[in-house]
Amino acid sequence: MHYISSGQGSAVILIHGLFGNLDNLKALGKSLELQHQVIRVDVPNHGLSPHWQQMDYPHLARAVLDLMDELGLPGAHILGHSMGGKIAMATALSAPERVLSLIAADIAPVSYDERHQKVFAGLENIDLTRLSNRSEALHQLIQADIDEGTAQFLLKNLNRTQQGFTWKMNLNGLKECYADLIGWHNNLATDAYLQYKKPTLFIRGGDSDYVTAEHREAILKQFPRVQAKTIEGAGHWLHAQKPTIFNRIVCDFINKHNK
């Protein structure tokens, strides 16, 4: 995976969500790098990372562990937002001895219903061969009933070359793997489900519906040492909407459990 490393100290790996890239958690990285080595990654099929045709959480967890091996890291604190939170959780469940602490931002270890079909349709309807500027792409996404903030976020994936526009992300690959990305592989209906018994923090946005009371049992079964924080006045993009309080919660938690 493509990554950027900054700072020195115990390692913290930051993992962005669907359609994002390593810049999404840059402000958090700036807060953490004063005391830690911060590794921000581009998830496969995003940013400058390789394009995969098979993309599920066991494979993504393996990619995180492979990166830790590449960097010579015996252990790391791991934080992920949304899809990145699921990758962080999958890594902790598969190799708990390598994960010092875990933070999941506005996501639960469960399967979700589809909620990105409008986004996929809007992105696919943009004819990159006829696009002359970003403003045209923004207009087309808004016409597809995508709010301007989300549209601006999505268009960070638009790359201009001498030949024209391309997507940095593997849009087709993400669509093909979407069922795996909204799904979850740790089957609680069996006695063999995985657990991560080290310090875990779930941070949710008070205005978000991604983490609800009905997810409580699934969270506690898989992460028995969990704490939870709610940031009022924030939705799913809590790290961007309330960065000061989000960054402080994360830094305090990691520093408390840094051994």
Q: Domain end: 132, 159, 176, which one?
A: 176
pLDDT at position 174, please?
Answer: 95
Active site (annotated) includes residue 59: no
Per-residue pLDDT, averaged over 194-203, amounts to 97
Does one domain contain both 217 and 246? Answer: yes
Assign 120 a pLDDT band (cuts: 50, 70, 90).
very high
Instruction: Write down the catalytic residue from 16, 81, 236, 257.
Output: 236
Does one domain contain both 192 and 171? Answer: no
pTM assigned to the model: 0.95
Its domain, for residue 66, covers 3-110+184-256
For residue 40, how many C-alpha atoms fall within 13 Å in the half-sphere facing its CB?
Answer: 23
Residue 64 has pLDDT above 90, yes or no: yes
Q: Domain end: 129, 150, 176, which one?
A: 176
Does one domain contain both 98 and 189? Answer: yes
Cα–Cα distances in Å, from 239 out to 51, 91, 137, 191, 195?
26, 21, 26, 35, 26
The proportion of the chain whose per-residue pLDDT surpasses 70, expressed as a percent, equals 100
Residue 259 has pLDDT above 80, yes or no: no
Does one domain contain both 153 and 199? Answer: no
Asked if 97 contacts 195 with a C-beta cutoff of 8 angstroms, the reply is no
Q: How many structural domains comprise the chain?
A: 2
Q: Name every residue whose Cβ is closer than 8 Å to that of residue 57 and which is 6 or more positions away in sequence.
A: 86, 87, 90, 180, 184, 185
Q: Domain end: 143, 160, 176, which one?
A: 176
Does one domain contain both 12 and 139? Answer: no
Does one domain contain both 105 and 210? Answer: yes
Does one domain contain both 170 and 55? Answer: no
The mean-pLDDT minimum among 71-75, 134-138, 248-252 falls in 134-138
Does one domain contain both 69 and 10? Answer: yes
Instruction: Write down the catalytic residue from 82, 94, 101, 208.
Output: 82
Reported as type and span, the H/E element at residue 203 is strand 200-205
Does one domain contain both 12 and 101? Answer: yes
* CATH code for position 73: 3.40.50.1820
- Mean pLDDT, the chain, as a whole number? 94
CA 12, 10, 2, 72 dihedral sign is negative
The mean-pLDDT minimum among 39-43, 58-62, 81-85, 189-193 falls in 189-193
Does one domain contain both 104 and 206? Answer: yes
Does one domain contain both 14 and 86? Answer: yes
**Exposed / middle / buried, residue 13 (Cβ in 10 Å: 0-12, 13-18, 19+):** buried
* pLDDT tens sequence across 206-239: 999 999 999 999 999 999 999 999 999 999 999 9
Per-residue pLDDT, averaged over 46-56, amounts to 92
Active site (annotated) includes residue 239: no
* pLDDT tens sequence across 143-191: 999 988 889 999 999 998 888 899 999 999 999 999 999 999 999 988 8
Does one domain contain both 75 and 101? Answer: yes
